[in-house]
Structure 1
Amino acid sequence: MQNESRSPDTAKAGSDEHVNAEMFELAPVSMWLEDFSGVKKLLDEWRAAGVTDLRSHLQADLSRVHACTLQIRVLQVNRKTLQLFEADDLAHLTANLGKVFRDDMLHTHIEELLQVWEGKNEFSSNSVNYTLSGKRLDIQLNARILPGYEDNWERVLLAVENVTEREAARRKLMHSENYARGLFEYSPISLWVEDFSQVKRLFGDLRQIGIKDFRVFTDVHPEFVERCMQEIRVIDVNQQTLTMFHAPDKPTLLSHLSEVFRDDMRPHFSEQLGELWHGNLFHQREVVNYALNGEQLHVHLQFSVFPGHEENWDLVLVALTDITARKKAEAYLEFLGKHDELTKLHNRAFMVDEMNRLERKGPFPVSVIMADLNGLKEINDQLGHAAGDALLRRVGEVLSKAADKPVHAARIGGDEFAILMPATDERDAVAMVENIQSLIDINNQYYSGSPLSLSMGYATSRHGERLEATIQRADTLMYQDKRTYYAQTPGNERRQTSPE
């Protein structure tokens, strides 16, 4: 009996094939050996028919993509593939390929077909497959037409990596990012993401040269505050910021920041720098900014350095809540507390406080003018209270024009008015009375209807005299003037006037 023998080359070739077969079978990723010759034939037919834009051709009718998938023959898969797709064997898998390749996969298969259409021997994609039980698999596919089969595509090796967990994590991260972006972009308050790292560096320079009292330093060097303001870099703003600051878009706002942060804002910013100097990385305060249309904005500012960026301040969130309406309401309430709503002059409460202040601190002498609107009762009786109110408003116009600070004019009763003049002697008091009378004459030329007329009396405080006594002397003289007015006015001879 003759022993069979093989040449060394034959034995080596057989050994290599065996190793390759084992490597394919035991590969830790899903491996597929497929025949794409039917796909090549179909693509060649389309090309011959005049198709030049394969993407448009396939997207116009996805059934063409499906036709390509039907031309693929699965020749062999490895053990990892059966496990991944929950198949018993190759026959079980190939009999159910319609369950594996469906839905989302058709769109990504277009990209694979485009790569081989362009003459590439390798193609890759990120796609979606499904297990036989219907579980979604995110996969990363890498394929190559094997050497020697470039002309007919009869052997294509595909490696399919299951990246479902990675893609799920990516989608979750993307969802979180979109959620955070949505919270930022559509927040009802103005949000600014800024970089304060250069401010931090400037602070470090000051500490190195021994600066300890930051407030004293900025008082002596106000240009440092300006320098810090210029070194802040705005990274992003949200939609509410554009609305609040009347900016059409982000580039417009960011290119006009000098119009936003100016004037009254600088003292607030200096205080904010003081907070940072002392290590307060979260603080809040009320500040003033300006919209691009020039409108003044009162805002409640909340400043916070992002966690993890405490060392260099390169990521800072500034939240601005518009409190302009509240500030206006507060200012109006404060105004009403010290002013008469009808005439816009000060009221009796303010005048009492101002008298007490002048008695304590001066400066003396203090002159007082007491005035009374003539004919108010007759106007109210004959023309109605609306006409009387209009006349009172005209008194407010005259006296507010005449009374510049530190002089104060007030409505202290229905038709009674007082003017307090600090550091004013009798000569200046006379000049004020004459000025008021001139303004009345001008006012009467401007308004038709009932003429405006005031009875006035003035007095200047004597040394050691209480202002209340000065007011009483001025009041007495005012009533004398009023009696003279009614005595000289036809139809008012019977009207009696006397000081209360």
Structure 2
Amino acid sequence: MEILDSSIFDLSPIPMWLEDFSAIQAIFNQWRSDGVTDLALHLQQNPDLVTLCAHQIKIVKVNQKTLDLFEAQSLKHLTQNLSTIFQHQMFDAHVAELVALWKGELEFTSTTTNFTLSGQPLDIKLRAVVLPGSEQSLDRILLTTEDISGYMQARRLEEKNRRLAEARFSYSPTSLWVEDFSRIKLRLDHLKSIGIDDFRTFLDVHQDFVQHCIEDIVLLDVNQATLDLFKASTKSDLFQNLKKVFSKEMHQTFKEQLIELWNGKIHHSREAINYALDGSIRYVLLQFTVFPGYEEDWGLVQLALTDITARKKAESYLEYLGKHDVLTKLKNRSFYTEEIHRLERALIRPVSAIFLDMNGLKPINDHFGHDAGDEILRRMGNILSRTIHNTSYTASRIGGDEFVILMQGANETTVQSTILTIQELLNIDNQYYSNHIISASMGFATSLENETIEDMLKRADQSMYDHKRQYYKYLSNKNQ
């Protein structure tokens, strides 16, 4: 008590309170005689008792720092406005204090919210100690109320930013993966320490190194967009089926990623192929980054996967359209022209060609409409597709009713056999579609020694026109 009466108490840089809890001790004694054993449960069932106890506490004295903190002019001014200082936020902290004293604890701490007399909230760190000689009566308890508002505001801001970051991760429309690459970092550092400098050649020689690195990845978390993209019901469902997601194509993609990391590129992107759990393909743009603060060990990295499947399918279709005839599904004239140039440059000889020109298509268009004519062209396309099935030959529609089969490495005998196949398929097709018979004039040629592809094609084209003249001459004689 002598210390508390001295100037040390009044000059303390921390707000201090000397309080008398003897009335609380008397209440405790009554409750114990009434059979109360679990005070926390008792107060939970009778919350009004907490308020009753609070009103029994007597404030003996406070120091100047306390008055300053709570904007009070004097002890009397302070005690007359305790309802402003101690509001409902104090309830849990006061329960903890009562339970600690009930258990005979001589020291306790808590964190709560008080208010200044002008209504400003204060985050308070409360520390209390029962002074020597007051262990039984609790008539002298020293409390300090440290203002930790700045610290708590920083904590709340940190928590807010953490929740915001988690929300951005969880609800991002982009598939996000958080992984630990630290074991891979150790592997690469080891290779550098033993003098490996040509990492690409090293990977070509030690192909199992890539697989070892894949196995070293620790997957920490994924977001909902990832589950949606790969058709996984839960994170556990995805984690247990990662082998289905990462295709054999991913091995080469990851190899290139390792080379990027070896070269110090801890932020990079590339396209990759993955698969959903139902087996459907996923083309993705993979963007890799090492999180700030983890540049030295790669302990935390993020992969963002943007689904570009629709774009890839569109590109594929546009590429298909660039080389195919939409009606017949055969190659188009643009492809045919490029293929001629390729065959001219290639060393494989001979090269053969079969030219086909349909007979009587115009009268069918005139009498039955272009839909009927288109159907005949589709039938012709199907016949030629079946003819070259399982071969390296190509069939192209190079005009309205003109078709060419290019046959690299085929001699005249092979060409004759192919023509017989076409004729057999035509006969079968015409039996089924007897109302609209397909007729085609055909000519062929096989490249001669030192003959250009262009000259061979001219001979094949001329052969087809000779056949066509014979066909129409036969029709003319027949109709006379």
Q: Deviations over 1:209-260 (max 9, x none)?
A: 4322112221122111111221122222222222222222223222322222
User: What residue in structure 1 maps to residue 461 of structure 2?
Assistant: 475
Matches within 5 A, 1:5-84: 17-22=1-6, 23-39=8-24, 65-84=50-69
Aligned twin of 1:6: none
Q: Matches of 1:451 and 1:290 in 2, distance apart?
A: 46
SS of the equivalent of 1:170 reads helix
Separation of aligned partners in 2, 1:390 and 1:43:
100
Q: Distance in 1 between matches of 2:34 and 2:347?
A: 105
Counterpart position of 1:140: 125
Which whole-Å CA distance do the structure 1 matches of 2:127 and 2:345 have between them? 92
The amino acid of 1:21's aligned partner reads D
Task: Give the deviation of 1:124 after TM superposition.
Answer: 2.9
Residue number among 281, 288, 291 corresponding to 1:306 in the alignment: 291
Report the alpha carbon displacement of residue 479 of structure 1 after superposing the two structures with TM: 4.7
Query: For 2:55 and 2:434, how far apart are their aligned partners in 1?
Result: 97
Superimposed CA distance per residue, residues 311-362 of structure 1 (whole angstroms, 9 cap, x where no aligned partner) = 2222222222222211111111111111112222110011011011111224
**What residue is the counterpart of 2:203 in the other structure?**
218
User: Which residue of structure 1 lines up, in the alignment, with residue 442 of structure 2?
Assistant: 456
Q: Kindly tell me: are residues 122 and 182 of structure 1, through their superposed partners in 2, closer, same or farther at Cα, counting changes over 3 Å?
A: same
The equivalent position to 1:388 in structure 2, one of 342, 365, 373, is: 373
- Residue 422 (structure 2) pairs with residue 436 (structure 1): yes
Larger deviation: 457-466 or 45-54? 45-54
TM-aligned CA deviation for residue 153 of structure 1: 4.5
Report the CA distance shift for 1:443/1:181 in structure 2 as closer, same or farther (over 3 A): farther
CA distance in 2 between counterparts of 1:492 and 1:100 reads 119
Q: Specify the alignment match of 1:229 in structure 2.
A: 214
**Partner deviation per Cα, 1:368-426 (whole Å, 9 max, x = no partner):** 11223455444434444334333333333332333245211111112221110101111
Distance 2:48 2:477 in 1: 105
5 Å matches for 1:151-230?
153-230=138-215
Question: Which digits, 9 at most, give the CA deviation of each residue in 1:259-279, with x for residues without a partner?
Answer: 222311222221221222222
Letter in 2 for 1:98: S
Aligned to 1:296, which of 281, 300, 318?
Answer: 281
* Residues 50-105 of structure 1: CA deviation (Å, up to 9, x unaligned): 98886677667866644443333323222221121111111000000111011422
Which segment is superposed worse, 125-134 or 259-268? 259-268
Instruction: Tell me what 2:73 maps to.
Output: 88
SS of structure 2 residue aligned to 1:248: coil
- Aligned partner of 1:418 in structure 2 is 404
- Counterpart of 1:7 in structure 2 is none
Alignment gaps of 5+ in structure 2: none
Residue 345 of structure 1 is matched in structure 2 by: 330
Distance in 1, matches of 2:431 and 2:210, equals 53
Secondary structure at the counterpart of residue 400 of structure 2: coil
Is the alpha carbon distance of 1:214 and 1:37 closer, same or farther for their aligned partners in structure 2, counting shifts above 3 Å? same
> How far does residue 195 in structure 1 lie from its aligned partner after superposition?
2.0
Q: Aligned equivalents of 1:63 and 1:380: distance in 2?
A: 97
Aligned residues: 478
**Which digits, 9 at most, give the CA deviation of each residue in 1:145-165, with x for residues without a partner?**
556656665444322221111
Q: Is the 8 A contact 1:193 1:317 kept in 2?
A: yes
Structure 1 residue 119, shift from structure 2 partner: 5.8
Tell which deviates more after alignment, 105-114 or 348-357: 105-114
Matched position secondary structure for 2:16 = strand
Partner of 1:125: 110
Cα separation, 1, equivalents of 2:222 and 2:261: 22
**For the Cα contact (< 8 Å) 1:486–1:493, is it kept in 2?**
no
Give the structure-2-normalised TM-score.
0.87
What are the Cα deviations for residues 445-481 of structure 1, in whole angstroms up to 9, with x where unaligned?
Answer: 7779745554433221222334344334333444555
- What's the secondary structure of 1:474's corresponding residue? helix
Residues 42-51 or 61-70, more deviating: 42-51
Letter in 1 for 2:15: S
**Residue 241 of structure 2 is aligned to residue 282 of structure 1:** no
Q: Summarize deviations over 1:267-320 as a string: whole Å, max 9, x none.
A: 222122122222222222222222222222222222222333332222222222
SS in 2 for 1:128: strand
Provide the C-alpha distance between the structure 1 equivalents of 2:292 and 2:380, rounded to a whole number of angstroms.
61
CA gap 1:141/1:373 in 2 versus in 1, 3 angstroms: farther
Describe the SS at the equivalent of 2:248. Answer: coil
1:441, distance to aligned residue in structure 2 (A)? 5.1
Tell me how far apart the structure 1 counterparts of residues 62 and 250 of structure 2 sit (CA, whole Å): 71
Q: Partner residue of 1:3? A: none
SS of residue in 1 equivalent to 2:386: helix
**Deviation at 1:170?**
0.9
- Is the Cα contact below 8 Å between 1:62 and 1:106 reproduced in 2? no
Amino acid at match of 1:206: L
Change (3 A) 1:64 1:373: farther
Deviation per CA, 1:157-204, whole angstroms, max 9, x where unpaired?
Answer: 322221111111111111222222222222222222222222222223
Q: In structure 1, give the amino acid aligned to 2:262.
A: W
The AA in structure 1 aligned to 2:270 is R
5+ residue gaps, structure 1: 1-16, 496-500
The 10-residue stretch of structure 1 (278-287 or 462-471) with the greater mean CA deviation from structure 2: 462-471
| TM-score, reference length from structure 1 | 0.84
Counterpart Cα distance in 1 of 2:182 and 2:44: 50
